[in-house]
Structure 1
Amino acid sequence: MSKFTTQELDLASDPTILLIKYRMMEKVWDFLEEMQGEIRKELEPFTGKLPKELNLIHGKISKGENYKRLPYMMLDFPAFFTKDNMLAFRTMFYWGNFISSTFHLQGNYATDYGLDLIKKFRKSDRIYFCVNNSPWEYDYKANNYVLLKEISADEIKEHLQSTDFIKLSIKFPVEEMPERKQDLVSFMIDGLKVIRTN
């Protein structure tokens, strides 16, 4: 049997930390609901100008307790998912790490819009490009995300030849979350201008 540490016993004896966590996750849910409302307003000028299958009315908030052993919460909006094709704007709160928003294009959407989206954000100091072979990793370690402006055109081409997805992402520290909502929404608007179908 593993021995308990003093730190573990002290934490287990004090309900405060879990009560604060519970309250924090409620507020993150509210933050994502508010963001969903703001996104919905921003989408109005795009009506009829984006791929028709994109859901522009309702987003989905989901949460879990164990992404690499830490709690998370995410909003997918706007988004469209099938087994082979995906176009989603995902905002994620990851406990102890970051608040982020990510364009995830897969299958036909990566082919149709990926290079234009990369071109749009190529010179940004804040946008990251996913270099992983899996689209389901979210941390910002060097084997998953690199700054888009620091990756070569040849490396991008190689990645696109070996995978069927593109992920571009922006992140901020958790402590900046309250004042970064507009930055996240603005990232979405700038990207959707590229994805407009007419």
Structure 2
Amino acid sequence: MLTPEERALVFNTDWLRMKHGIMDKVMHLLGQVQDAITILPAWQQWPEAAPVRSLGAKISKGERYKDLPYVILDYPRLFSREDIFALRTMFWWGHDFTATLHLAGHSLARYRARLESARPALEAAGAQLYILEEDPWHHEIGAGIYQPLSAVAQTGWEQALDKDFVKLARSFDLGEWEQVVTGAAGFYGEVLAVLKGA
């Protein structure tokens, strides 16, 4: 049986139309993030031969990440069994936007030393370190999942870089909607400059 609250919603189409409108705006916003990445100096100077340059952007959306709607932009993106290199921007309904660098396999091996030596720049960019040991597919920023890099001991940072994958992220409050594009692009610009060795 429907609860009184559910029964009221069944007859109300306005909230659903508004939700669809919001999701369309999120898709547009993530398209702007992609455009902003393409003009970052570090990305424009990225080697043309790098495998990650040949794959276009991918936007996916769904209704049930922990029971709430989401939209994800992966750009640039490379996902294979042996290699992950992705900048993942995610909108999660009711929570936040996140900008994430995800490296594993060949890409992590290639950039591990640069990440290790660039810790101060990553801290200054507001990076948080993913601290779960096994599963790299949690996306929310929160206690027990991410920790500000500035609060991670040096031994913890070194151990994190010795794992099979590393994720660094920065979150943006939903109230900062107008700053998401510049904020995410700024974070990605810092991250890409570190990886490129600029």
Report the CA distance between 1:36 and its aligned residue: 1.3
What TM-score comes out, normalization by structure 1 length? 0.87
Which SS does the other structure have where 2:182 is aligned?
helix
Report the CA distance between 1:63 and its aligned residue: 0.8
Identity rate of aligned residues, in percent? Answer: 28
Aligned pair count reads 195
Listed as ranges, the gaps of 5+ residues in structure 1 are none
CA contact (8 A) 1:72 1:94 kept: yes
Distance in 1, matches of 2:31 and 2:50, equals 23
1:142 paired with 2:140, answer: no
User: Structure 1 pair 14/22, CA: closer, same or farther in 2 (3 Å)?
Assistant: same
Kindly provide the amino acid, as one letter, of the partner of residue 117 in structure 1: L
Moved over 6 A (4+): none
Kindly provide the amino acid, as one letter, of the partner of residue 11 in structure 2: S
Distance in 2, matches of 1:169 and 1:158, equals 18
What TM-score comes out, normalization by structure 2 length? 0.87
Report the CA distance between 1:57 and its aligned residue: 6.9
- The residue aligned with 1:66 is 64
Residues 1-198 of structure 1 mapped to structure 2, 5 A cutoff: 3-42=1-40, 46-49=44-47, 52-55=50-53, 58-117=56-115, 119-124=119-124, 126-133=126-133, 134-161=135-162, 163-196=163-196
Kindly provide the amino acid, as one letter, of the partner of residue 174 in structure 1: L
Which structure has more relative contact order (CA 8 Å, sep 6+)? It is: 2
C-alpha RMSD over aligned residues: 2.3
Distance in 1, matches of 2:148 and 2:46, equals 32
Report the CA distance between 1:4 and its aligned residue: 2.9
User: Structure 1 pair 5/38, CA: closer, same or farther in 2 (3 Å)?
Assistant: same
CA contact (8 A) 1:51 1:197 kept: no
